Structures are given as C-alpha cells and as structure tokens.
C-alpha cells in the first residue's frame, strides 16, 4: 500500500482564516489611506478656491481704490427702479487738456446687482448724463445678510445716520465709502468689508462740488 508523506512545513499554504484576517486588515488600511487622500485633495481644492476669490477681489478693489481715492463727489447710495441693484455715483477730476487745464469731471457709477450677483462699474464724462455700458468688476457676489453694500461717510458737524446710506461722521477728515458684501468661489464664501478714503472730499469742499454733483443725475434703472 502506498504511503503518503507530509510536505515540509515551508511548503504549507495559508489557511482561509489567515487570508480573511489579512484582507480585513488591508481593507482598514486602504480605507484610512483613501480617506486621508480625499481630505487632502479637498483641502487643496478649497485653498485654490480661496486664492481665486481673493485674486479676483484684489484686482477689483484695487481698481476702486485708485478711482475713489481721487473722487471729488460721492452720491447717496440707493436701490434702482427695478429693485435689483444698488447704485452709488462718484466723480473724479477730468483729463488734462492740451492747454494745461482739466477737462470736465468724469463720472463713475458703481452697481451692485444682487439679482445676477455682480459688481459693475459704469463710466462716462460730463456733460453727458447717461451712464456708459458697465464692466464687471466681480461676479458671484451676494448681499451680506441683507446689509446694504454701499455706505457713504461724510465729514459733518455731528454724528448721525442720514437717509439713503449716508452717515455724518464728525471724526472723519475726509469722505469715505464702505463696501460690504460676500464673494463666493466654488464652496468658499469670503466676507468683504472695506472702506475707501476720498481725500479730495472734505467738509469744506462738499458744498462747492456743484458740477460734480451732476454725476448723480444719471439714471438708475
């Protein structure tokens, strides 16, 4: 009768229990690694979205700063006739003419369209009273908890909140325009609350800026 010989221990395979246990451990390890990778890529994407939103706002607000810094008149903010846009107008000095004098004041109209979620800027020169075609400064912008996006602070004798988003601020030497809203990029929300100082507007110059006030006569559709 043939006798069966036992194979050496080194040639033995794995038992089913050992294989199941190894697969369970590997599954746990893969789950941990996958979760870590997903979180890492999510953090990278979020950081990229924040950077994109910040860059867009920096460009837009930098342009506004250059314009508002030299403003000679700022109007009272108000909502337009259709109830979907906030407006505020301001005037800046005209371009220098060939004879060395300044041309007519240039007008700017800042529009916050909370229906289409855009911040726009329209430009034109006096004596024209029709706002030019607006250009988009920023998109995906929203009202911050319903707060008005524009507030104007004018130097005044007393501290008071005047109609239409104008605040009399006796401690202010110059006029200031405050912008407040939220900007969104992907899933990231960024709150914006910035003030721009107009060093050409003081308590002594507000009353004398009669020509510049004509910028406020532009239509607010």
H or E stretch covering 22: helix 16-68
Assigned domain for 26 exists: no
Please give the backbone phi and psi of residue 70, each rounded to the nearest 5 degrees, phi first: -105, 10
C-alpha closest to that of 72 among 91, 96, 95, 88: 91
pLDDT in tens, 138-190: 888 999 988 899 999 988 766 555 656 677 777 788 999 999 999 887 777 88
Q: Look at strands 118-125 and 135-139 and give their pairing.
A: antiparallel
Q: Does residue 123 sit in helix, strand or coil?
A: strand
Assigned domain for 11 exists: no
Structural domain of 64: 47-217
- C-alpha span between 127 and 73 (Å, rounded): 15
- Rounded percentage of the chain residues whose pLDDT exceeds 70: 82
- C-alpha span between 102 and 82 (Å, rounded): 36
Judged against a pLDDT cut of 60, whether residue 9 lies above it is answered with no
Residue 163 token pair: 């109609």
Domain count, the chain: 1
| β-bridge partners, 191 | 182
pLDDT in tens, 105-118: 999 999 999 999 99
Assigned domain for 103 exists: yes
pLDDT band at residue 42 using 50, 70 and 90 as cut-offs: low
């Amino acid at each position: 009768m043939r006798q069966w010989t036992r194979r050496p221990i080194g040639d033995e395979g794995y038992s089913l229990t050992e294989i199941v246990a190894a697969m369970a451990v590997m599954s746990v390890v893969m789950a941990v690694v996958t979760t870590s990778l997903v979180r890492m890529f999510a953090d990278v994407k979020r950081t990229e979205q924040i950077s994109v939103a910040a860059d867009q706002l920096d460009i837009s607000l930098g342009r506004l700063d250059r314009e508002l810094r030299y403003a000679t008149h700022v109007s009272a903010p108000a909502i337009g006739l259709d109830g979907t846009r906030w407006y505020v107008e301001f005037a800046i000095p005209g371009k220098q003419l060939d004879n060395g004098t300044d041309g007519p004041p240039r007008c700017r109209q800042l529009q916050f369209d909370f229906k289409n979620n855009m911040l726009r800027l329209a430009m034109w020169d006096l004596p024209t009273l029709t706002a030019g075609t607006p250009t988009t400064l920023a998109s995906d912008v929203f009202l911050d908890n319903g707060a008005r996006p524009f507030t104007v602070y004018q130097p005044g004798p007393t501290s008071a909140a005047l109609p239409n988003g104008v605040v009399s601020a006796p401690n202010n030497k110059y006029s200031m325009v405050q912008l407040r809203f939220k900007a969104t990029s992907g899933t990231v929300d960024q709150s914006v609350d910035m003030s721009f100082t107009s060093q050409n507007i003081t308590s002594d110059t507000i009353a004398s800026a009669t020509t510049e006030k004509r910028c406020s006569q532009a239509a607010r559709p």
